[in-house]
Each structure stands twice: as structure tokens, then as C-alpha cells.
Amino acid sequence: MLNASDNALLTQTGAGTPMGKLFRAFWQPVLLSSELPKPDCSPVKVTIMGEELRAFRASDGTVGLVEPRCPHRGADLFYGRNEDGGLRCVYHGWKFAADGRCMELPIVEPGPERDRMMARIKLKAYPARDFGGFIWAYLGPKEQVPALPQLEFALLPPAHSYVTKKLQQCNWAHPLEGAIDTAHFSFLHMAVSDEDDTDRLRWIRNDPAPRYTVVAHPAGLVLGAARKADNGDLYWRVSQFLMPNHVLAPNAHRGEIHAGQCYVPIDDNHCWIFNYTWNPERPLTEAERETYRKGLGVHPELDEQWVPVRNRLNDYLLDRDKQRTINYTGVDGISEQDAYICDSQGYIADRTSEHLAPTDLGIVRFRRLMLDAARKLEQGTRPEALSHPDGYCARGGGTVAPGATPFADVMRERFGHELGRITRAAPAVA
Amino acid sequence: MLNASDNALLTQTGAGTPMGKLFRAFWQPVLLSSELPKPDCSPVKVTIMGEELRAFRASDGTVGLVEPRCPHRGADLFYGRNEDGGLRCVYHGWKFAADGRCMELPIVEPGPERDRMMARIKLKAYPARDFGGFIWAYLGPKEQVPALPQLEFALLPPAHSYVTKKLQQCNWAHPLEGAIDTAHFSFLHMAVSDEDDTDRLRWIRNDPAPRYTVVAHPAGLVLGAARKADNGDLYWRVSQFLMPNHVLAPNAHRGEIHAGQCYVPIDDNHCWIFNYTWNPERPLTEAERETYRKGLGVHPELDEQWVPVRNRLNDYLLDRDKQRTINYTGVDGISEQDAYICDSQGYIADRTSEHLAPTDLGIVRFRRLMLDAARKLEQGTRPEALSHPDGYCARGGGTVAPGATPFADVMRERFGHELGRITRAAPAVA
Amino acid sequence: MLNASDNALLTQTGAGTPMGKLFRAFWQPVLLSSELPKPDCSPVKVTIMGEELRAFRASDGTVGLVEPRCPHRGADLFYGRNEDGGLRCVYHGWKFAADGRCMELPIVEPGPERDRMMARIKLKAYPARDFGGFIWAYLGPKEQVPALPQLEFALLPPAHSYVTKKLQQCNWAHPLEGAIDTAHFSFLHMAVSDEDDTDRLRWIRNDPAPRYTVVAHPAGLVLGAARKADNGDLYWRVSQFLMPNHVLAPNAHRGEIHAGQCYVPIDDNHCWIFNYTWNPERPLTEAERETYRKGLGVHPELDEQWVPVRNRLNDYLLDRDKQRTINYTGVDGISEQDAYICDSQGYIADRTSEHLAPTDLGIVRFRRLMLDAARKLEQGTRPEALSHPDGYCARGGGTVAPGATPFADVMRERFGHELGRITRAAPAVA
């Protein structure tokens, strides 16, 4: 439970808000790299944390991420023509490079006056990078550009990962809370009948009250949730929260495909969830990619605009008969079940009238960490995570261990490191 | 004509407003009983007087009318699973009975802590009753639940009545004013040609300025409108206003089917009109029900969501040729003509620039009664009507009487009671 | 560049605003005459400068332009029945003449009380005129009705002109600025390849920085833009701004068809652009009319509600391939290119962060003229243009002249008058 002012502090990321400044201290995914498929392709619209921007890929492949309007009389550069090394406003032909520099000013006759104007007029532009299949942007202070977070999927050859994004029609924070709250699996994602339960599903069904262990580290939190398994063993599901808006999922057992999600505010009532799945040990098969395209795990079935086929407008294709007989929600798909229950909490979840339980420990720690970091940044102290890009090279996942095993030992046994950290060299592209 | 502040007082029924408190002192229809057709059926959304609620019918048939969100983290209980005596939130499995009591709290391990939490956590729930084919709710102070209004249609065997509801896309009050203003029939509902006029229609056409007699009684107002008939007779059309939002229609002559309407605010710009027609003397035939389903009298042609087929979005299928040659409106249907002219007055009618005429006497009296009652309730005096549930067992209707007959005698002759009241025992169900 | 307060002053035309008062001092086109095609036709809705009105054509052909609601209880007169010399409210039959006079009051019995009411009750009505194929209205002070502006197209026989209107989904002022900024032709309306360039297009392409000459006169501004032509000649394109919201286009060379546009605010975020094309020397052919209907020059392709087929909702059917290979915009049509770039400046262009160039001289002068006139009117001085209806009988157009020719001589040579004014007798209809 938060008071109204802390709830606003946590959820509002517009320019000038404390949480907005915290987000802007970090690189954020803003587009799929495939949305700017090649040099001189069409410009696209980007809205992130309430800021409207335009993105284009210049002739040399550089990505420009710029303010939306031409400085002359405010025509929208989305309608600009991306040509020969820059974006040209089609109203009067002014042209700008990816870094915002004015390249041409045709309505002014050549001469010193034009030279002065061209030196003075600049399009506001943010640093942007291609990394791991996403285009990342840094909207913070120019003099403090951090390193890119060294997430494992982005360091692997592209064949090892599948990335996409989905629109979530609510604030960024409570879907992220849903991701670190692994207790909800016992109902939200469960079949009504236990007929087809695997061991893991049986353990999840029979123990809806997992015990949480939360360990803080420079880049975020490791969250272990332990359920009773067979013969006194515990079934551990370990997730990672990585500042300020990544969660690594707790499902993968040894050898399985890993998943992570990044919750990027569009405005305070909508976010893009950038989904990444990867296998460190081998490329993903075409068959696996195809199941993701059709919807599996964190990947929903999507339309061409990355809007889930099941969404607010069509009530998630809710089937009440299915809810009575097949699963608890009446909605198909893990990603879709997560999306619908989060939307149902409201555009911005009201945290002032909650009744939290012991399984919400991870949520409590996440809120405290983020609120503290935002307050500290207001006082001039930047988050420690910015100095630990390697701390993002980590994994979440599941394992079974004898009941008495300390959490640090469970982690070391499963991941080779008590915080789940992986050592991997950054590729040349970053 | 009202000043702006009285207009706001009359039309605003949100929680905490004086008129909202007056409405909440009375039972209100909120759903058709058929919207919760059987035990364990799917939950439905209800919005009444600006309050969002969820309704469900538990395994024993009891209706639950509860706040919309799970107390845990605010997931919407519309998506809940109605099962085994209660409604289960599908996020973490919390389960609640129709009276709001917490039945299960699976994310907390069994023990005294869970017992304490279950005793403390309660879903806000309002009393609800099945009565006459509607589900009625009481949203007022718990310690002052009144008796249900003993409306005649609800006391009869169900075979005697036909009930439904329709969406009206404006405030509740001016459509109700339209219902007690029986003068409008002379234009709004008339054919251009008098070729097919019955006697009644001829009298209505030829005398568009009826003389009003209004008599107050504990449950509301009796309103008689007298038009010139033949040979010095008067054609009386008598309607009833029953506090705070029922009107009984003036059309039925002896032996004909009666009609009534209840104007229930959804918010200040929309209302549900609950329509009831009944014949005290015999069951309605299947043929009569079929004409109602197709649209007749107070019953419009409806879609599956109780939205009139002719509505704001399609301009009521207005046919200008028909308006020139067939009827004054160019719109088909009595109910539809009422709806379109009321919508046309605006979402909230502006009563500050009216020019009322003598035929608006009933409207003037209705406003005064409601404004006084709301002001008195603010000072602690509850409306007298709450102590007179039997006063709602009444009828409106029409008759012809010699010109000199006093109104009380007209009433006694037509209804057997000078206020149109009927004596009838309540059925066991209420 | 304007400060925020001047930007608001220029763009807001609601009742009571200074610019709204300036607009209301002039006759404004509000409908096409063809929207009220004959006596007793159906009433139509009009919204102009934020005021909702209803228009109808009475039995004698007079146009009524009246407040939208019946004075009785506020029913919308759009649903009224236009019959026998007046518009009848269908709720209770009140009937009004085109000048707002109450003709019938059926709910009040005949007698002196009714006579008094009928004398007192009046529908607010504005003067309206059929002129040149438009219906013009005057919404200013009753005692100061000016003469109609003597625009040439309206003085000619109807066969000489083609008039229509189009919806523009933004404020009135920046599209008007676009019309007097003739520099934009060098990019916004140009083909990528110069293969099909005529001489004029070649001159426009090769000189995107025309030199502006602006001359003030009582009715507005004459704006000459000179581009380098061949052999030391200048290619002059001359437009006219006529107070408060007409622009005459600069394209027509001697003998060609002229064009003008009037930007009429619907509200501050939308306007109707009334387009008029005319040939002073001969009737337009049916083939010419057909090309206008399909979209040519100022006339876009329109749907039945005068909404351009290419509009905000469908992103102007923008074709990125066409933008790469055919023209700078990827959008078809001069009118459509103007519309899309103006929409792209925002609903209200932000003039506080512009960087104006020498070619924006006409825009600067237009703003100064309008802001001064609005401020002076606030102090009681009416614009001089109101006393010069003949000053509107003028033309814009293009010509080629030797480089040294003074602008006044260019004007005299092209139009026979240094301000482009034409002498022509008003027809009987005005």
C-alpha cells in the first residue's frame, strides 16, 4: 500500500517528474530495430514517457531520434522525406542530419545570413543505438550518457534470440509488479482441471502461497519464490528486477529458453512491453520462432501494429464457458492473461486501498527501491546501477532443491553465481 | 425555469450530492432479473448514479452487488469466476460471498494470521432483491433500509407483466419531465394527416393545451390533464409521479394494459429507463409480448445491449420525407420519439432559459417536490414516501367524463380511489 | 514568431474574444447555397466560431439562421418541421419565422395571455444572404450590418464560377498563412523529377527563395513573390489577403481560371475552407467542373459531407513509395498537400518557437494587420475594410516581367490596377 503521493511518484514518468528523471538516466528500448529496416527508410513516430519524437535511419545507417517538428513553422517531420543523409521537411525543404544539424535551408538565399541561420538552427536530437534487435534511446543529461545495459540476449548472436514488443493499455508499473509477483501463477495461468498437470504445475497449483526471498544488488533485485515440491524439496522460481524497468522471468529450467521484459512508458496510461527470449546455448529454431509469432509465453498473438489480438477493445475475447470449464480466466495465452488482469487494475492501479500479503514482498521491495532511487536522484545522487552495466548480464529461472538449502546455494547451483550473473563478452556492435 | 444552482441540484445524483442522497434513500432497479439468469452465472457490470459495481448470482440464487475491485491489488471482479457460493478473483484466487464476506485467501498460509486477514477484509456489498422482474438495490445508509415500493406490476404473477429497460443518452430528469408532460402528445406523437384519427387522437389533436390538475400525496403526485372531448365532455389523461423517479402513464382506459417507467441515473449524462407494462386482470398474451419486443408504446425496438435501435449515433433513423408527409418527427415509435426529443434537449437540459406555459404545471410541481425533498434530507428529514410503500400500488390512465365533474370524482369513477390507489396483497417473493 | 498571448489572440474566435469580434464585424460564408436547395427543405446544423446554429429556407426562399433550441424547453430545432413559412418545434408545436418571430404557440389557449407570450418570445436570428453560391451570415452588432464583400466571383453569372467547401481539421489561421506563403510551392507541391517541368515549374523549382513585396490597402494586403525566370526576367506570383479571412491565389496567368479561399472557423480546432474558382471572361465548361469535382487545385476530392477523402483519419492516404520516387509529399493533390502540412502543424500552430525567414514577410504582415485590427476594435475603432466592399473585387495571379520593373508597374500591366482591383457592377441578387 502506498499513499496517493507515492503512487503518483512511482507511476508518473513525464518530463520533469522525479520518476521521469530516473527513467531518463537509463537507456530505454524505444523501437524494434526492424521498424527502421534500412538506410533512408520512412521516418516513424515514437512516443516515450509522454514525449513525442520522430525516428529515422540515415543513409549511413545511423538512427536519428529527433523532436517532431521543423523549427521553421512547426510542420511535422513524420511527413518528412528521408533522403541523402538527412530528413527533409517537405513544406519548405529544410533538411536535418541524424544528430539534428541543419544541412539545407533553401528558402534563404546563399550568403553569410544563411550561414548564420544554419549554424543557429538545430533539431533537438537524442542519442540512439541498435542493440540486441531494439533501438535504444537515452533521453537524459547529455554529459552523463551511461553504458548500455549488458543484457545477455543482446550480447548473443541474433540467431539465439527472439524479440518483439506489445502494447499494454495501462501504466508501466503494475504490469511490472505482476511480473515479479510469481505467486499469481497458481490461479491466473492455471487450468481448472489438474488432469494435465506436470510436476511443476502440480506444485504451483498445490502451493499458492510461495515464500519469498529478496536479495538486493547494485543493478536491482533477485527474487526467489519457494513452493513445496515432493519429498521435502522446494520448487524455486527466481526472477530478476533490473533497474529501472526490466524483469527476467522465473520459468526456465536448465537448458530451456529464457525470457525477459522491459516496461517502457508511452504515457502514464500506456506502455510498450519489449519482450526478449533467448537461449544462451543454441540458436532458436524456426519452429520455435513460429510458436512465438502465434503467441507463447511472454509473446502474445499480435496485429501488425504490435497490439495484442486480445485487448481492452474486444474484452480479450473473453469466453465465459471456457472460464467455467477450462481455465480460471476464460482468456487464451499467458501474455494475454497477464495483460487483461493488469488492464483490469485500471489505467493507473490505485495502491492506496490495497491489502498486501506476504507473497507481495517482492512488490514492496521494488517500490521501495524505485521510490528511494527517484528521491535520491532529485537530491543529485545517481543510481548505482548506472555504474554496473555488467550486472544486467543475468538470468532468472527455476529449479528444485532440498528444503534446507540456503537461497545463495540454490542460486549458485542453478546459475553458477549467487545473484544469477553471467560472464559474457560484449559483441563488437554495442 | 430554474436557476443554475437548482438545475444542478435536480440533475446531479453522484455520491455525496443532495439529489444523490435522496435517490439512495429509495430502492432502485439496477438490472433486469434476466441479466443474472441463474445461480453461478457470469458476473455483470452495473453503473448507477456514477458508482461502478459488479453483480453476480451466487449458487443459492442470492444476488451480490459489490464494489468492482478485489481488495488485494485492485483486479476487476467482472473478470472473476463465479463458483461454489462466491466470486473468485482470478489474479490470486481470493473469493467473496454475495454479502462481501471473504471466503478464501489462498496466497496466505493457513493459520491465525490468515484468519485475522479474512475477518478484516470485506468487499463492500449493497442489499439487492429480485422483485417484479427487476433486480433492485439499496445504496443508502445500512441502518435505514426501507420496504420495497409496492408497485402493482411487481405484485402480480409474472405472466401479467412485460418488463424491460432502455438506454437513454441524457440525464434522468428531463425525460421524466417529458413523461408527466402529457401535452406533448398533440405534436410529438401525431400523424400529419387526421385521416386515421380515433376519437382519442382527434381530441388530442384538436386541443393541444390541456388544463392540468395536480394533487400531492405521500408517495408523489397525481396529474390530470383535461382536453375537450365531444358534447361538453372532457377527455382526462391521468399520470402518476412516484418518488423519486417513477411515472405511471396516462393512456390506459378501463381494461387496457397499463404502463410505467422508472428513470435510473447511470451517470449525470445517461440513464436506464426501466419500463413495465401490466394488465391487472389477465396474463399478457404471447402476441402482445411479441409486439413489445418489436417496439410499441413505452417499449422501443432494442438491440441486445438494451440500446434502442434508433439512437443518438444514427440520428434515430430520422426520415425527412416521412416528417413531411407522415408524422411530425420523421421518427418511428412513441418511445423513440420521446427519446429523441429528450436527447435533443442536451445531455442535461438547460432550465435557466426556459419559457414555461400553463401545461407545464406538472413539471413545476415535480421540480418543487424533488428540490424540497432533497433539501429536507440534507437537514435530516427523510421523505414521507419511504413510510408509504403501499402508496406505490397505484395506476394512471384515461377516461371521459362530463365537463363539470370534479377531478376527485373522475378519479373515483375511473380507479375506485381518488388518488388512483389499488389495494393488493404483496406476493411471497418480495 | 509570436508570444503565447498574441498566438491566442490571433487564433481564438469564440464569442467574446477580440478576434471573434473582428470576424463577427464581417459577413462570413456559413453554408453552400446548395445545402438549402429549396423552400421548405430540411433544416441543417451550422457551427461557426464556436456557435451552434440552425439554418432553414422558409417557404418564400428566405434563409433563417437561428439559435439551436426552442425557447420553451430547449428541444433542438434541427429536428423541427419546416412548413408553411416557418420552422415548427415538434415537441409542442411552437413555430418560428426566419427572422425569429413566434408564429404559433399551440399549448396556450387563444387570448391576451397567448398574445403577450407570442410578442415576448423570440428566437435569436442572424441576418443571412445568398450570394455567389454561398450563404453568408452576419453575427455582429445588429446596428452595424456592413455591405457584402464585392468579390468578383460572386458578381459574375453563376456559370462563370465553381464553388465548394472543405473541412480542414485545424485552426483557421495557419492554413491561411500557408495560402499567402507562396514560397512553399518549391517543395510541397513539386515532383521529384524535373522531367515534366513547365517553364513556371522550372522557375519555382530553381528559386525556392522568392523576394516578397507586400503592399497594404484598405481591404487587406497585396503580396508579390518574385522568382528568377529566364534572361533576367522575374516570375511574379501575386496573392491577395482580404480582411479578415480571404486569400486570392497567385497562379492564374492572363485568361486562366482564378481561385480564392475563405477560412471560416468552426471552432478553434477546425475550419471550413470555402473555395471559389472563376473565370471572368467565360463560363466554366462541364469538363472543367468535372475535374474540380474529382479534385484539382484548391478543390480536393471530397466525400458527401465535404470532408476531403484524404484526411487526418487515414493519414492522407500517404504513399511512402510515391514520396521516394514521384513527389515530395507522397500525397496526391495540391489542396490535399496544403491540408496535410497544415494539419501537421497541430490543431493550433505553436508560433512561439518558430524561426521565420525572409520569405515569411507576408505572414508577418498578415499577423500584424489582424492583431492590430482586433486590438483597435476592442478600443472601438472598426476596421477600415468594412467601408470598402468594392476593395474585395480584386484578383491574384502570375506574370513574367523584366527584372527592373517596379511592382506597381507589374501590377498595372497584369491586372490594369496597381492593387489588382477590378471594376464590376454588383448583380441584382446581392
pLDDT of residue A231: 97
Per CB-CB distance under 8 Å, the chain B contacts of C90 are 187-188, 328-329, 341
- The dihedrals phi and psi of A301, each to the nearest 5 degrees, come to -70, 125
How far is it, in rounded angstroms, from Cα B77 to Cα A343? Answer: 12
CA distance B269 to B274: 16
* Closest chain C residue to the Cα of B315, Cα to Cα: C79
Q: Which grid coordinates are listed for B318?
A: 430520422
Cell numbers 481560371: residue:
C257
Higher pLDDT, B182 or A252: A252
Cα C339 to Cα C314: distance, rounded to the nearest angstrom: 13
Give the pLDDT mean for A211-230. 97
C315 residue type, one letter: D
**Strand, helix or coil for residue B303:** coil
Q: Given an 8 Å threshold on Cβ–Cβ distance, is B74 in contact with A188?
A: no
> Residue A75: is its pLDDT beyond 70?
yes
CB pairs under 8 A between A and C: 85
C416 at B interface, C-beta within 8 A: no
Task: Show residues of chain A in contact with C351, CB under 8 Å.
Answer: 74
Mean pLDDT value across residues B294-307: 97
CB B250 within 8 A of CB B182: yes
Are B188 and C74 in contact (CB < 8 Å)? no
The answer to whether B92 contacts A184, with C-beta atoms less than 8 Å apart, is: yes
Using the Cβ of B328 and the Cβ atoms of chain C, whether some distance falls under 8 Å is answered with yes
Mean pLDDT of chain A: 97
- pLDDT score recorded for residue C428: 53
Residues B34 and B133 sit within 8 Å (Cβ to Cβ): yes
pLDDT at res. B428: 53
Main-chain dihedrals φ then ψ at residue C6, nearest 5 degrees: -70, -35
Amino acid at A405: T
For A357, which of B79, B88, B108 is closest by C-beta distance? Answer: B108
Alpha helices in B213-303, H assignment, sequence order = 286-294
ipTM of the complex: 0.95
Q: Which helix (H) or strand (E) holds A186?
A: helix A185-188
For residue C374, the one-letter residue type is A
Task: Place A428 in a pLDDT band, splitting at 50, 70 and 90.
Answer: low
Contacts of A121 in chain C (CB under 8 A): 355
Contact C92 B353 (CB under 8 A): no
User: Which residues of chain C neighbour B350 with C-beta distances below 8 Å?
Assistant: 69, 74
Nearest to B50 by CA among B76, B17, B98, B99: B17
Q: What is the pLDDT of residue B95?
A: 98
Q: In this structure, what C-alpha cell is assigned to residue B165?
A: 429497460
Spatial separation of the C-alpha atoms in residues A55 and A198, rounded to whole Å: 46
Nearest to A330 by CA among A187, A119, A160: A187
Is A354's CB within 8 Å of B71's CB?
yes
Per the omega criterion (within 30 degrees of 0), is the bond before B244 cis? yes
Q: Between B and C, how many residue pairs show a Cβ–Cβ distance under 8 A?
A: 85
In degrees and rounded to multiples of 5, residue B328 shows phi and psi of -70, -25
Question: CB atoms < 10 A from the CB of C285, how many?
Answer: 11
Q: Is C72 on the interface with B (CB under 8 A)?
A: yes
Q: Where residue B430 falls among pLDDT bands split at 50, 70, 90? A: very low
Which stretch of A5-19, B327-341, C384-398, C412-426 has the lowest confidence by average pLDDT?
C412-426
Residues from chain C that touch A76, judged by Cβ atoms under 8 A, are 344-345
Substitution target in A91, A108, A109 with the highest count of C β-carbons within 10 Å is: A91
Partner chains of B (3+ C-beta pairs under 8 Å)? A, C
The predicted-structure confidence for B233-270, as pLDDT tens digits, reads as follows 999 999 999 999 999 999 999 999 999 999 999 999 99
Distance between CA atoms of A121 and C355, rounded to whole angstroms?
8
Chain segment B87-134, per-residue pLDDT in tens:
999 999 999 999 999 999 999 999 999 999 999 999 999 999 999 999
Contacts of B339 (CB under 8 A, 6+ apart): B166, B168, B175, B300, B308, B310, B311, B316
C422 strand-pairing partners: none
Tens of pLDDT along B348-375?
999 999 999 999 999 999 999 999 999 9
Q: C1 and chain A: CB distance < 8 Å anywhere?
A: no
Minimal CA separation from A303 to chain C, in Å = 18
* Chain C contact for A90 (CB, 8 A cutoff): yes
- Chain-chain contact of A75 with C357 (C-beta, under 8 angstroms): no
Q: Does residue A216 belong to the interface with chain C, where contact is any CB pair within 8 Å?
A: no
pLDDT above 70 coverage of chain B, percent: 99
In one letter, which amino acid is B54?
R
Gyration radius from chain C CA atoms: 23
Q: Which residue of B has its CA nearest to C87?
A: B328
**pLDDT-derived band at B139, boundaries 50, 70, 90:** very high
Interface membership of B353 toward C (CB under 8 Å)? yes
- Report which residue type is found at B282: R
Q: State pLDDT tens for residues A91-138.
A: 999 999 999 999 999 999 999 999 999 999 999 999 999 999 999 999
A323 Cβ under 8 Å from any chain B Cβ: yes
Outline where DSSP puts E strands in B42-160: 44-48, 51-57, 63-66, 81-83, 86-88, 95-96, 102-104, 125-126, 128-131, 134-137
Contact B186 C108 (CB under 8 A): no
Q: Which of residues 14-43 of B touch A (CB under 8 A)?
A: 42
Q: Is the dihedral of CA A373, A374, A375, A379 positive or negative?
A: positive
The SS3 assignment for B101 reads strand
Cβ distance A312 to A331 under 8 Å?
no
CA distance C14 to C402: 47
pLDDT at C424: 81
Contact indicator for B122, A353 with CB cutoff of 8 Å = no
- The 10s digit of each residue's pLDDT in A382-422 is 999 999 999 999 999 999 999 999 999 999 999 999 999 99
Q: Are A74 and C349 an interchain contact pair (Cβ–Cβ within 8 Å)?
A: yes
Find cell 457490470 and name the residue: B45
The segments of chain C whose pLDDT lies below 50 read 429-430
In B138-252, DSSP assigns E strands to 161-168, 211-217, 220-228, 233-242, 246-248
3-state secondary structure A310-375: CCHHHHHHCCHHHHHHCECCCCCCHHHHHHHHHHHCCCCCCHHHCCCCHHHHHHHHHHHHHHHHHH
CB contact (8 A) between residue C90 and residue B359: no
Half-sphere exposure of A109 (CA within 13 A, CB side): 9
Please answer yes or no on whether A341 and B107 come within 8 Å at the CB atom. no
pTM (2 decimals)?
0.94
- Nearest CA among C237, C128, C240 for reference residue C189: C237
Delineate the domains of chain A, giving CATH numbers in brackets: 27-143 (2.102.10.10), 152-415 (3.90.380.10)
- Dist. CA B36–CA B32, nearest whole Å: 8
CA distances from C79 to B188, B324, C34 (A): 11, 12, 20
Q: Are A96 and A123 in contact (CB under 8 A)?
A: yes
- Contact A108/C358, CB-based, under 8 Å? yes
Residues in chain A closer than 8 A to B71 (CB atoms): 353-355
User: Which residue in A42, A72, A73, A83 has the most chain C C-beta atoms within 10 A of its own C-beta, making it the best mutation to test that interface?
Assistant: A73
C-alpha distances in angstroms, C57 versus B94, C42, C92, C354? 66, 8, 21, 46
What count of other Cβ atoms lies within 10 Å of the Cβ of residue B69? Answer: 24
What grid cell was written down for A104? 539545407
> Which among A206, A207, A211, A205 is positioned nearest to A226, based on CA atoms?
A211
Neighboring chain C residues of A74 at a CB cutoff of 8 Å: 345-346, 349-351, 353-354
